[in-house]
Amino acid sequence: MQIAFVIYDRFTALDVVGPYEMLSRLPGAETVFVAERPGPLRTETGVVALTADKALAEVPHPDVVVVAGGPGQSALMEHAPLLDWLRAADDTSTWTTSVCSGSLLLAAAGLLRGRRATSHWLALDQLRAYGAEPTGERVVFDGKYVTAAGVSAGIDMGLSLVGRIAGDDVAQAVQLGTEYDPQPAYDAGSPDKAPAHLVEALRARSRFILT
């Protein structure tokens, strides 16, 4: 099973690394990092880089597509090389997935029209603008399309997908092996739970503004 992790300039590191840590443990998994061109690409901070092993054109038929989010997503919403590849890969994929604002790229490619989907809570209105049905859920399955909410939700998405592909025992073994047992220090991980002044402060700085 070939799993293609799509990266680009200014992606968010955990959007890729989180699901990678789950999905790479699937029996028989072949993971590959892909981008428009092979080579190193830096995250939004500019400090961390991951290497795209292959160009998009070299990976035409992955079984699983995982599209990362990050500030670099905004510049790619009309970028034909990526959107065309997403459509073509989706034609034969078993699962087409995203983390955080990566779902906006799937939506821009026309893959989420009429489908339930999620993204970072600040980006949900943009999903609606592309014909998707946004939800506030952490992980959303709609047929073969799986979308995760902001950043850390990619871990949950990856683990949930392991269960769908290989069964509960394998998924639970992966969870145990990675000691994924979240116990956050605070209960402010969604706009429904966080203090209102923090929600408004993040909203005011958001790049997700409809025009």
Q: Are 35 and 8 in contact (CB under 8 A)?
A: yes
Cα angle, residue 118 at apex, residues 116 and 121 outer, rounded to 5° = 140
Contact criterion met (CB below 8 Å) for 90 and 111: yes
**Annotation marks residue 179 as catalytic:** no
For residue 92 the two structure tokens come to: 């034969």
Strands (E), 9-87: 30-35, 39-42, 49-52, 54-55, 64-67
Cβ atoms within 10 Å of 91's Cβ, excluding its own: 10
The structure tokens listed for 79 are 């970028």
29, amino acid identity: A
Q: Report the alpha-carbon distance of residue 142 to residue 52 in Å, rounded.
A: 28
The residue annotated as part of the active site, out of 100, 105, 109, 111, is: 100
Q: How far is CA 198 from CA 67, 190, 194, 204, in A?
A: 28, 11, 7, 10
Which of 124, 93, 125 shows the shortest CA–CA distance to 111?
Answer: 93
Catalytic residue annotation = 100
